[in-house]
Amino acid sequence: MAMSTTTERNKILEILKEEQSFYLISHMQPDGDSIGSLLAIGEALRNYGKEVKMFTPNLVPQKYLFLQGAELVSQEVLLDDYSKTVIVLDSSDLERLSYFTDTVTKCKKVINIDHHVTNQNFGTYNLVEVEAAATGEIIYGLLKDLEIPLSKTVAESLYVAIATDTGSFKYENTTPATHRVASSLLEYGLNPGALSQKIFDERSLPFFMILKEALAGLEIYEEGKIALSTLSKDIRERCGATPGDLEGIVNYTRDIEGVELGILFYVEGSSEVKVGFRSKMVDVSELAGRLNGGGHARAAGCRLYEDYETVKQKVLEEAKNILNKPPV
Amino acid sequence: MAMSTTTERNKILEILKEEQSFYLISHMQPDGDSIGSLLAIGEALRNYGKEVKMFTPNLVPQKYLFLQGAELVSQEVLLDDYSKTVIVLDSSDLERLSYFTDTVTKCKKVINIDHHVTNQNFGTYNLVEVEAAATGEIIYGLLKDLEIPLSKTVAESLYVAIATDTGSFKYENTTPATHRVASSLLEYGLNPGALSQKIFDERSLPFFMILKEALAGLEIYEEGKIALSTLSKDIRERCGATPGDLEGIVNYTRDIEGVELGILFYVEGSSEVKVGFRSKMVDVSELAGRLNGGGHARAAGCRLYEDYETVKQKVLEEAKNILNKPPV
């Protein structure tokens, strides 16, 4: 497990105080925590008199473009001065930086700030706090220690980072410290209602069309304990759905009252099916593992190279087996 | 606007300390805040050596039955000793106590604890804190002042009260104080993941079937700014939906990207249509008002006694008018 020492943390604080210019980068397929953390530390360091350049391997998603500074994030590899320190945010390893990996590796000093338990400690200095609900929570602590006063927009970026990585304080990773930080951030005059509407509730029309199809195809097994649905490639194309529009659809299968295990089949071709698993109590990482997949106890998946009917029968059989095991 | 004085608050604290036995009651059609507040103050007072009897005019909803003490809440009017103090929770007026109103009025002392801005100050003593996100937040403060140590189950009830009334800290009523209280409650070892799954994500199968129908009937107007759908009585019956299963369906019309105003028509008969409005920025209380309805700026409704087509045209026309007004 990745851990950081006080010495390393102090060294990082020293570098942030003493150096004048930084590169900041967060991971590919950016989420609210990676973008919020990037923008927050970026603006805070600028307010502190530093020069920063911000990068992500993919575009900032539409729904985070309202955050101040989002327009300054570049997808071009403009890290041309290898003597500068690069701060890598929310990335468990350097591969998550996609086509930026090589260039980042060339920089003299790499500061690795992350909360993932799988973090590879790839930095020259590592600040990995696995008990933090979000990288944004770690950034908040760093800025406090640096005695950099937060602006309202820095607070807003940190709030988005923390709120998105905790599903608005719903996930198990939410701790008393998470709420304490959220409390301090709201003191800057944030409007949690308007922010939450932007980052949580709003989804695209194709998402809702896909949801309709998923609900129309719902099948219930094992006296209501298993719910499954199937999305063909054809349906996804007809709805004009991008991969982002499919995000979260599988959750609805699990959220049905009485259901223990939700399954969503994405038919990719005549002999390829992607399968998503969600559960309330049963260990779906074990279920996925038996089918050459992986994941977490409550959210996992696999990919099987057979026709849909064969895959469905195989998955259902294993799902029934796992249901009869004691919960974890 | 309802307000309380420090004197009144102190008097309430004195009564809670000195008297030995209390009736506790919260409002009809109970929600998470009314149930959570009731159970929290009930168990806390019992732990403090007091005798309590708890009442609600309707059954505790299924999803809150896991809370400790839920089985002790009675729907029978067993308040037979009028010399006792009755504590009314989360109710803006005595009518919200339904068939309990008369009996409660007969009690010698009524303590009114609430956070609704519309509270009628009906109590002998009133503790109305309109800036509190939930009545649970007020109860937390009271228990602190009484120096009653919280148990894990009291903390759990208070957490449910606050989380449900803020939509898991998403609504505008969430304040820095709300998060501070949540932080303290989690310190009692609560599992926010498991609790949130129980109180937020899980919905009945009929709910999802109704959602499917609502999405299937989606119509988009004004270049994507208005989304509407219609649920006939027939569809609701076919899905086996209770009124509770319809809760929240209207929100999905508003949550579509680009939509400013979401509308859901519930056809009640050949000349009766109930209409729900949700918005991001426009004032739907004004829209509802023009149609003899009412509500809040972002959530309102009305009931019109004409045939569906006439109602739909009338509502759409007013909706288009309101869209062209500046936001509030």
Task: Judge whether A314 lies within some domain.
Answer: yes
Residue B3 scores a pLDDT above 70: no
The Cα–Cα gap between B72 and A261 comes to: 32
Tell me: do B11 and B68 sit in the same domain: yes
pLDDT, position A1: 43
Is A120 inside any structural domain? yes
Give me the percent of chain A exceeding a pLDDT of 70.
98
**8 Å CB contact of B180 and A177:** no
Of B201, B232, B249, which marks where a domain is finished?
A: B201
Give pLDDT tens digits for B297-319.
888 999 999 999 999 999 999 99
Hey, what are B246's tokens? 């319809």
Residues of B in contact with A196 (CB under 8 A): 167, 170-171
- Share of residues in chain B with pLDDT > 70 (%): 98
| Helix/strand/coil for B26 | strand
Q: A17: how many CB neighbours lie within 10 A of its CB? A: 12
Residue showing tokens 């732990």: B47
Average pLDDT of span B35-50:
97
Weakest mean pLDDT among A42-46, A295-299, B121-125:
A295-299
Alpha-carbon gap, residue A240 to A75, rounded angstroms: 26
Please, which pLDDT band fits residue A247 given cuts at 50, 70 and 90?
confident
A37 and A119: one domain? yes
Whether A99 and A196 map to the same domain: the answer is: yes
Shared-domain flag, residues A187 and A83: yes
One domain for residues A164 and A249:
no
Distance CA A239, CA A235 (A): 6
**Claim to verify: residue B242 and residue B296 sit in the same structural domain:** yes
Does some domain include residue B328? no
A184 and A69, same structural domain?
yes
* Domain contains B1: no
User: Is pLDDT at B259 greater than 70 in this prediction?
Assistant: yes
Is the Cβ pair A172, B182 closer than 8 Å?
Answer: no
Report the residue of B140, B186, B252 to disrupt the A interface, i.e. the one with the largest count of A CBs within 10 Å: B186
Say what the pLDDT of residue A326 is: 64
Distance from CA of A159 to the nearest CA of B (A): 12
DSSP string covering A238-265: HTT--HHHHTTHHHHHHTBTT-SEEEEE
Q: Are A83 and A108 in contact (CB under 8 A)?
A: yes
Classify A313 as helix, strand or coil.
Answer: helix
For residue B254, give the H/E element and its range. Answer: helix B249-254
CB contact under 8 A, A179 and B180: yes
Enumerate the residues of chain A whose CB falls inside 8 A of the CB of residue B216: 212, 216
Q: Is the pLDDT confidence value at A111 over 50?
A: yes
Q: Is B67 within 8 Å of B160 (Cβ atoms)?
A: yes
Answer yes or no: do B215 and A197 touch at CB < 8 A: no
* B171 to A193: CB separation less than 8 angstroms, yes or no: yes
Task: Provide the pLDDT for residue B296.
Answer: 80
Give me the mean pLDDT over the B20-26 stretch. Answer: 98
Structural domain contains residue A328: no
A203–B255 CB contact, under 8 Å: yes
Q: Which two tokens stand for residue A255?
A: 């959220």
**Domain annotation covers residue B285:** yes
Half-sphere CA count of A183, side-chain side, radius 13 A? 15
Q: How many folded domains does chain A comprise?
A: 2
Predicted pLDDT of residue A324 = 85
DSSP class per residue in B166-234: TTTTTSTT--HHHHHHHHHHHTTT--HHHHHIIIII-B-HHHHHHHHHHHHT-EEEGGGTEEEEEE-HH
Is the model's pLDDT at B1 over the cut of 50? no
A64 interaction partners in chain B (CB closer than 8 Å): none
Say what angle helices A135-145 and A6-18 make with each other, to 10 degrees.
70
Count Cβ–Cβ pairs < 8 Å, chain A vs chain B. 127
| Interface predicted TM-score (ipTM) over 0.90 | no
**CB distance B118 to B128 below 8 Å:** no
- pLDDT of residue B2 exceeding 90, the answer is no
Alpha-carbon gap: B54 to the closest alpha carbon of chain A (Å): 28
Would you say residue A149 lies in a domain?
Answer: yes
Q: What is the pLDDT of residue A244?
A: 82
How much is the pLDDT for A70? 97
Helix (H, G, I), strand (E, B) or coil at A143: helix
Q: Which residue of A has its CA nearest to B171?
A: A193
**At which of A201, A216, A249 does a domain end?**
A201
CA atoms of A108 and A124, how far apart (whole Å): 9
Using CA coordinates, name the residue in chain B closest to A260: B202
- B16 & B111 share domain: yes
- The pLDDT tens digits for B145-202 are 999 999 999 999 999 999 999 999 999 899 999 999 999 999 999 999 999 989 998 8
What percent of chain A has a predicted confidence (pLDDT) above 90?
A: 87
Which helix (H) or strand (E) segment holds residue B290: the answer is helix B284-290
**Chain B residue whose CA is closest to A175:** B186
Closest chain A residue by Cα to residue B213: A212
| Domain assignment of residue A1, yes or no | no
Q: What is the CATH number of the domain that holds A259?
A: 3.10.310.30
Distance CA A305, CA A295 (A): 19
Put simply, the answer to whether B211 touches A211 (Cβ < 8 Å) is yes
What's the CATH code of the domain at B87? 3.90.1640.10
Taking CA–CA distances from B280, the nearest residue in chain A reads A197
* Cα–Cα distance for residue pair A264/A244, rounded to 1 Å: 16
Please give the order of strands across the beta sheet that includes B226-231.
Answer: B219-221, B226-231, B261-269, B272-279, B299-304, B294-295
3-state secondary structure B139-164: HHHHHHHCCCCCCHHHHHHHHHHHHH
pLDDT of residue B62: 86
Please give the mean pLDDT across all residues of chain A.
94
Predicted TM-score (pTM) of this structure: 0.86
Across all residues in chain B, what is the average pLDDT?
A: 94
Residues B127 and B66 in one domain: yes
Domain boundary among A201, A228, A256: A201
Q: What is the pLDDT of residues A148-201, one digit of tens each?
A: 999 999 999 999 999 999 999 999 899 999 999 999 999 999 999 999 989 998
- Residues A57 and A145 both lie in one domain: yes
pLDDT (mean) for B12-41: 96
**Which residues constitute the domain of residue A160?**
6-201
Same domain, A251 and A298: yes
Beta carbons of A229 and A255 less than 8 angstroms apart: no
- Using DSSP, state whether B74 is helix, strand or coil: strand
In this structure, the answer to whether residues B233 and B291 fall within a common structural domain is yes
